[in-house]
Structure 1
């Protein structure tokens, strides 16, 4: 059995702090607590230095990398009843997907619909079929949760 361990940085009991100094200290504290040599994470430019030092892996920063480099963006508590600031970023985030990628996705969805197949179901089944890869699945209803649980 294998595990992928991730940690966060930037938010602390005393508030948010994304300075290079605090991010670096946070990663070092996490590594010590977890008794690991490196972690999987994502944050600000300080992580690039940590990656080069071998303390972090798989770091990406949206505006500081070539288009198409970022794998995923996770937002912490920025879309809910008390905070909907993520909604303001949606046009910006959509603009980061290439025209070719958008067209390929639309073509794939149309093809699946034409064949009577659910592209979401096919995609999740494909992702789950490789036991060497971990996935994070977004769901926005109890029905989607139930459907996805049935796929496993």
Structure 2
């Protein structure tokens, strides 16, 4: 299967490295076909937008899959409201970044994280809560996303094979349900808060 990403400008996310304007998407498609030395791709997917945007596309043409980031996590459940809609339209949903780009970890979000300060503060508080119990917030967050989401797949980053094996182990190990409830209570004031990404002129209205 040949796969590519449209709209990627080659810059880091922190440098607004995604341009999803119509012109850039068309140019990016041709660039990708040339790099892949092919005249087609095997599947059509949409990523980088809030769920309503790929839903708009899926109503009008075939969309095999969408990749939605940071929208089914301990802090944000927006994607859950769209799960059945996409299923009815034959679109598989991949839930990406269940750790909310590092915010849902004991270490905390990287400096470039685009979330509002109050969201990051609550995530940091949840990390401290887990750390005080000898637990890793990332484990709680990953297991929650995988075991409760019901999506076609979950996409989480890993630096090396050891982290891949660790993530698989985390998914299969139970978590302290009382701690999970405390973490959810901590994040409740910022539940379902999201943030813009990509170039301002290319963001959905």
Q: TM-score, normalised by structure 2?
A: 0.37
Larger RCO (CA under 8 A, 6+ residues apart): 2
Q: TM-score, normalised by structure 1?
A: 0.47
